C-alpha cells in the first residue's frame, strides 16, 4: 500500500487521505498513519508546488553546466560538489558518468549573470579542470510532466 500511496501523492500532493483511502480500499486511519510514518522516516521528504514561473512573469534562465573535476587526496567529488551546491544560484547537482563528472543546473535572471557565475565561481574552483555550458531554451517534459496543452479528447462520447 505504501508504494501506491507514494505514487498518488507524487502525482498530486494535495490528494486527501480520504480520497486515497477510497482508491485503495483502505481506511482513512490506515492511510494517514502510513503517510505520517513515511514523513517521519524521510521517505516523503517534503511537498512542494510546481510553478510555471514564466507564466508568473518572472525573468529566469537556466543553464546546464558540465564540470570536469580532478579529485585529489582529501578533496573528492563530494567535496567539490558541496562547494558548488552551497551557492543559492545552483538549482541541482548530479555526479554522472562519462566525459564530465558533475552536472550542475544553474539558475539566474539573465544569461550574462549565469555566464559570470560560471566563469568566476565554478571554473575557478580548486579541482575543476573544465566546464561546458548549455542554456535551456525550451522545456518539453520535466519530472514526468509533459509541458504541453492537454490533448483534446480523441474518443467518441458514447461507444459500446
Partner 1 sequence: MKPISKVVHEIPASGIRRFFDIVSQMKDVVSLGVGEPDFDTPWRITEACIYALEHGHTHYTSNYGLLELRKAIADYFVRTEGLEYNPENQILVTVGVSEGMDLAMRAILNPGDEVIIPEPSFVAYKPCISFAGGVPVVVCSYMENGFAVLPEQIEAAITSKTKAIWLSYPTNPTGAVAPREILQKIVDLACKHDLYIISDEIYDRLTYDGQHTCVPMLPGAYERTILLNGFSKAYAMTGWRIGYAAGNPDIIEAMMKVHQYTMMCAPITAQVAAVEAIKHGYEDSEAMIEEYGQRRRVIVKGLNDAGLKCLMPGGAFYAFPSIKDTGLSSDEFAERLLFEEKVAVVPGSAFGECGEGHIRCSYATSIDKIEMAVERIGRFVSKLK
Which residues of this chain interact with partner 1, rule CB under 8 A? 4, 8, 19, 22-25, 151, 154-160
Query: CB of residue 90 vs partner 1: minimum separation in angstroms?
Result: 33
- Smallest distance from the beta carbon of 116 to partner 1, in angstroms? 41
Of 73 and 155, nearer to partner 1 (C-beta) is 155
Report the residue number, 5 or 122, with the smaller CB distance to partner 1.
Answer: 5
What is the Cα–Cα distance from 63 to 135, expressed in whole angstroms? Answer: 4
Smallest distance from the beta carbon of 13 to partner 1, in angstroms? 15
Distance CA 23, CA 115 (A): 49
Residue placing its CB nearer to partner 1 in the complex, 17 or 108: 17
List the Cα angle 115/121/123 in 5-degree steps.
80
What cell numbers appear for 11 in the block?
Answer: 502525482
C-alpha to C-alpha distance for 97 and 25, rounded to whole angstroms: 43
Amino acid at each position: 500500500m505504501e508504494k501506491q500511496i507514494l505514487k498518488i501523492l507524487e502525482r498530486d500532493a494535495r490528494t486527501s487521505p480520504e480520497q486515497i483511502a477510497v482508491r485503495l480500499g483502505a481506511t482513512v486511519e490506515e492511510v494517514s498513519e502510513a503517510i505520517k510514518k513515511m514523513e517521519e522516516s524521510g521517505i516523503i521528504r517534503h511537498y512542494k508546488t510546481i510553478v510555471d514561473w514564466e507564466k508568473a512573469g518572472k525573468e529566469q534562465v537556466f543553464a546546464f553546466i558540465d564540470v570536469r573535476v580532478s579529485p585529489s587526496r582529501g578533496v573528492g567529488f563530494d567535496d567539490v560538489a558541496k562547494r558548488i551546491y552551497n551557492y543559492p544560484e545552483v538549482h541541482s547537482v548530479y555526479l554522472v558518468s562519462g566525459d564530465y563528472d558533475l552536472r550542475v543546473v544553474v539558475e539566474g535572471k539573465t544569461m550574462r549573470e549565469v555566464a559570470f557565475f560560471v566563469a568566476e565561481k565554478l571554473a575557478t574552483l580548486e579541482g575543476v579542470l573544465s566546464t561546458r555550458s548549455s542554456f535551456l531554451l525550451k522545456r518539453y517534459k520535466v519530472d514526468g510532466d509533459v509541458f504541453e496543452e492537454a490533448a483534446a479528447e480523441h474518443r467518441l462520447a458514447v461507444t459500446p
